A and B are shown apart, each in its own frame.
Chain A
């Protein structure tokens, strides 16, 4: 069996998947990044190797995505390094070819991707405000003393609607406290929060876009039934949650790696599972050669410099041959 590996390094979680030739996901792991992206990748690879226990012949392609895609790509020897938007869309299109709208809500950011004829035609991404992301929910769950896992189910038990101002986290918080004092139950408040998040998300990201079914909802937050229900109410249509909703980015990276390998006929640049034990050290140096004072990222692998970037003039980037 030949496998493709996809790695999605985000600020909250690092996801690693392995996919076989029939696009079946045979391994997936969701690891907390905890500010240590490289360690999480190493950990993920080790788990993959152990879990599959030589049940496959070879790794034929590797792709990375997510905010840490570049560094992770160099470390593992990725064949393709892709942005999250393209990666997410590729995975969804693979499993739901008729998809028209993707809602993706992760820990730190959220996106809407519009698809037509299996192609991304528009997208938007929220990063400025936390109110439309998973951390907003985590935070509020903590305030209310409800474990985030139970959050969604609790929301579904609400009997009444309560409107919570969801424009911004700070307002939502004070409004939530006020509503609690009015005597609304926890379940109702939670449902109110889910509604607020979805409303806020659609207002911010869906502005000026035609959102059409089928709707696919993915990202870590898709596990939350309350949010799914809120989406369905908001748009008045069924929302589908894909089987691998929380690792779609990584799957997309694996698919893109496969496409790339098949198109170019190249052999994978994967450094092997030993990569996890390599001495891999990224450092940043401040170049003082001109007034730009660029912060140049230098990556050493086993004592040899393998990549450099961040220079405005190309002086360092070009100093590497091959």
Chain B
């Protein structure tokens, strides 16, 4: 089968597992403006931005010969749960004979998961499948580890582009891994490559660390988030992103690989919101608390324009920011976004964070402006 999948962050791991099962992989291309235009054209107008970009990615993959697209489903009241079905419908409607297979959480609906698994398994034994998955998962974890390191160190790179060039090479290295030995060797070389890159030395109290939270697709895929991590790194800011494929896999297969980080995060969020609204809203609020606890200087929250779960996160941000004394910037992204304005917001935000950090620490007393809020509410109700 010629198989493809959505492009979301680093895709080497996905590719690996499908190849190991003997499929021919049509590598999805990193979304470009063309991809987005294509997706927008064939998607319902009011569907979420990630849906549109994935739509474009699938169309491009199908045009290059993909017969099957493997994707993840979502759950809860938000639209993510319908992505696969609607994508398939649209593709069929366009005249492409293609199947979209959705892998939902193993534990929620094992029956469906198993049927899907059989299709993808390509006749391989279950043992081989489990072995392959485990191996691919290991690759993903190793690569995530390196990527995390890059997003910190790249803030201090002396020759612009060094880390990105290394990362391209590192991806190739991992792509060539077929055995545990290969993997160990690749990891060693990769870490060496990263460590060898010359960087600027900074004092500990001058480091600015920013955490990124938000809707999974827009925070993972740099082509739809104005390459925000690189952008921040260029300003000399360290970045940590909460979503990595490895975390995502762990969350959806909990029990398989140990307990899920997401669950801990939801626990931390309880003091601000009572229930989850479908996406990663509670988890994201939990992450904000977690970043604060780990001494981060600020958080940037990214959401697709109109994303329901993340709107909930967004509306909680002023309270969270005030209570945690943590600057939080929320940005909405979609196909119509003016990057210039978001760029201005990001730059101003980083100025703010730097100034706060270098300012002498004085406790300022907060004056709750109940009257003000009550007035605002009254106006909102009045339209």
Chain A residues at the B interface, C-beta cutoff of 8 Å = 67, 82-86, 109, 116-117, 119-123, 125, 127, 165, 167, 199, 202-203, 206-212, 291-293, 312-315, 317-318
Contacts and interface: CB of A to CB of B under 8 A. Distances in A.
A119 B353 CA distance: 10
A132 to B, nearest CB: 14
Contact of B369 (A117, A210, A312): A210
B356 A121 contact: yes
B383 A119 contact: no
A236 B317 CA distance: 27
B345 interface: yes
Interface residues of B, number: 41
Given A123-B348, A314-B160, A291 B30 contact: yes
A116 to B, nearest CB: 6
B38 to A, nearest CB: 13
23 contacts: A83-B344, A83-B347, A83-B351, A85-B351, A117-B359, A117-B364, A119-B355, A119-B356, A120-B355, A122-B321, A123-B348, A127-B341, A208-B317, A210-B372, A292-B30, A292-B32, A312-B223, A313-B161, A313-B164, A315-B161, A317-B160, A317-B161, A318-B161
B32 A116 contact: no
Contacts of B164: 313-314
Residue in B30, B344, B356 whose Cβ sees the most chain A Cβ within 10 Å: B344
A109 B342 CA distance: 13
B34 interface: yes
A318 B376 CA distance: 50
10 A-B pairs closest in CB distance = A208-B318, A85-B348, A314-B161, A83-B347, A127-B341, A86-B351, A83-B344, A210-B369, A83-B348, A318-B161
A74 to B, nearest CB: 16
B373 to A, nearest CB: 8
Given A82-B347, A123-B348, A291-B29, 5 more contacts: A67-B340, A83-B343, A85-B347, A121-B352, A318-B161
A318 B160 CA distance: 7
B379 interface: yes
Given A120-B352, A291-B30, A293-B32, A210 B367 contact: yes
Contacts of A212: 367, 369
A117 B365 CA distance: 12
A97 to B, nearest CB: 15
Nearest to A319: B161
A80 to B, nearest CB: 12
